[in-house]
Amino acid sequence: MAQVARALWPVPHALAWRLGGRLQSALPAQSRAGFAGAAGGPGPAATARKGSPRLLGAAALALGGVLGLYHTARWHLRAQDLRAESSAAQQQLNDSSVIISALKTYLVSGQPLEDIITYYPPMKAVNDQGKEVTEFCNKYWLMLDEKEAQRMYGGKEARTEEMKWRQWADDWLVHLISPNVYRTPAEALASFDYIVREGKFGTVEGAVAKYMGAAAMYLISKRLKSRHHLQDDVREDLYEAANKWVAAVGKDRPFMGGQQPNLADLAVYGVLRVMEGLEAFDDLMRHTHIQPWYLRVEKAIAEVPQ
């Protein structure tokens, strides 16, 4: 759990260890496959237990747009749920952005976690497909007092900017992953070939996982392309998104957070990290201006104290 605290860097190291003591029982051991890879870890295939029969499904999540993840530096949040008990009821969080906001609020403010969770109440809503979904109020907002917010952000503009781009990564960027990773049958096969190779599947099991998984995700990617109204060449949407982010960061600061990454930097990095090693990632680095920023974030993560 100390790794979880470190991932929400920059905070004093002592507070990180405080989190390790407080949250150990609150975070179950199971995790979304690929979450560590998206957060700057070794990647989806490498983090799965070798030979696991669930690797195929985990990989589809890890490499697909359904990663609700946020995607942050070395965030080994080995959790799908964050539970906190208050005096009135137990609230379960299944939204990674809310989990991150709650943990960061805890690290900065030191408020009791059970109180922090109540600042993010669930709300039922109907999405564009007519399905009922659960949304969380204030999900991108850190619950800090005025002094804490001033110390962390330096001004309201920086706080608002971080929220805006965290939401953009959730609402748009993450939906570009599956259509690009599984854009063609060849790319889909290449993605699953990597997964099967790293997962040490048996011959028959590997062949089934590779070809059936690739075929399924190729078809799903086409549905996602239509649902999100992407261009005929989905790479163009990915390139535009990357250059839009780079323009927002600007030339006068290394990160959106200034001299160090903020939660928006880590969110965008985490989404893109999922594609490393695949053709879509190589194309992204080659055809956009995002590589210098991406490498700076990667370096900043590597320099976080162990």
Give pLDDT, residue 92: 66
Average pLDDT over residues 7-26: 38
Least confident of 135-144, 186-195, 198-207, 288-297: 198-207
At 85 the three-state DSSP class reads strand
Q: What is the pLDDT of residues 207-240, one digit of tens each?
A: 888 888 889 998 999 999 998 899 999 999 999 9
Give pLDDT, residue 100: 94
**What torsion, rounded to 10 degrees, do the Cα atoms 265, 266, 272, 276 define?**
120
pLDDT grade for 1, boundaries at 50, 70 and 90? very low
How far apart, in whole angstroms, are the C-alpha atoms of residue 75 and residue 66?
18
Give pLDDT, residue 214: 87
Give pLDDT, residue 69: 39
pLDDT at 262 over 90: yes
Q: What is the pLDDT of residues 117-160, one digit of tens each?
A: 999 998 888 877 788 888 888 999 999 999 999 999 999 999 99
CB 116 within 8 A of CB 105: yes
Give pLDDT, residue 61: 42
Cβ atoms < 10 Å from Cβ of 204: 8
How far apart, in whole angstroms, are the C-alpha atoms of residue 13 and residue 128?
43
Cβ atoms < 10 Å from Cβ of 293: 20
The dihedral sign for the CA sequence 161, 167, 170, 173: negative
Give pLDDT, residue 246: 98
Give pLDDT, residue 95: 86
pLDDT grade for 285, boundaries at 50, 70 and 90? very high
pLDDT at 33 over 90: no
Beta-bridged to residue 135, according to DSSP, are: 123
> Which comes out higher in pLDDT, residue 90 or 100?
100
Q: In the chain, what is the greatest distance between 2 CA atoms, to the nearest angstrom? A: 60
How far apart, in whole angstroms, are the C-alpha atoms of residue 197 and residue 15?
40
Percent of the chain with pLDDT over 90: 49
CB 76 within 8 A of CB 29: no
For the chain, the helix, strand and coil percentages under 3-state DSSP, each to the nearest 5: 55, 5, 35
Average pLDDT over residues 183-191: 91
The dihedral sign for the CA sequence 288, 293, 297, 298: positive
Overall size of the chain counted in residues: 306
User: Which residue, chain included where needed, has tokens 């993840």?
Assistant: 69
- Using left for φ > 0, alpha for ψ between -120 and 50, and beta otherwise, residue 200 falls in left
Give pLDDT, residue 80: 40
DSSP per position, 176-241:
GHHHHHTSSHHHHHHHHHHHHHHHT--HHHHHHHHHHHHHHHHHHHHHHHHHTT--SSHHHHHHHH
> Which comes out higher in pLDDT, residue 234 or 20?
234
**What torsion, rounded to 10 degrees, do the Cα atoms 53, 62, 99, 264 define?**
170
pLDDT at 52 over 50: no
> Which comes out higher in pLDDT, residue 58 or 306?
306
Instruction: Write out the E strands in the chain.
Output: 82-85, 90-93, 122-126, 132-136
pLDDT at 190 over 80: yes
In Å, how far are 75, 125, 126, 134 from 131, measured between CA atoms? 30, 8, 5, 10
At 16 the three-state DSSP class reads helix
pLDDT at 288 over 80: yes
Cβ atoms < 10 Å from Cβ of 230: 19
When mean pLDDT is compared over 23-37, 187-201, 270-284, the highest value belongs to 270-284
Percent of the chain with pLDDT over 70: 70
At 117 the three-state DSSP class reads helix
pLDDT grade for 193, boundaries at 50, 70 and 90? confident
pTM, to two decimals: 0.68
Average pLDDT over residues 281-287: 97
Give pLDDT, residue 58: 42
Burial class (CB in 10 A: 0-12, 13-18, 19+), 184: exposed
